[in-house]
Structure 1
Amino acid sequence: MLRPDFEKGGGLVPVIVQDAETGEVLMLAYMNEEAWERTLATGKAHYFSRSRGKIWLKGETSGYVQEVRDVLLDCDADTVLLKVKQHGGAACHTGYRSCFYRRIRGGQVEIVGQKIFDPEEVYGRKGA
Structure 2
Amino acid sequence: MSKSFRCSAVYPTLAVPSVLDTCNWYVDLLGFSIRFVWGEPPTHGAILLDAACVHFWQGEPQLGANWLYFDVNDLDVVYDRAMANQVEITRAPEIYPWGMREFNAVDLNGYNIRFGQHMGSAD
Shorter-chain TM-score above 0.5: no
Q: Which has the higher strand share?
A: 2
TM-score by length of 1: 0.27
Q: Which has the higher helix share?
A: 2
| Larger gyration radius, structure 1 or structure 2 | 2
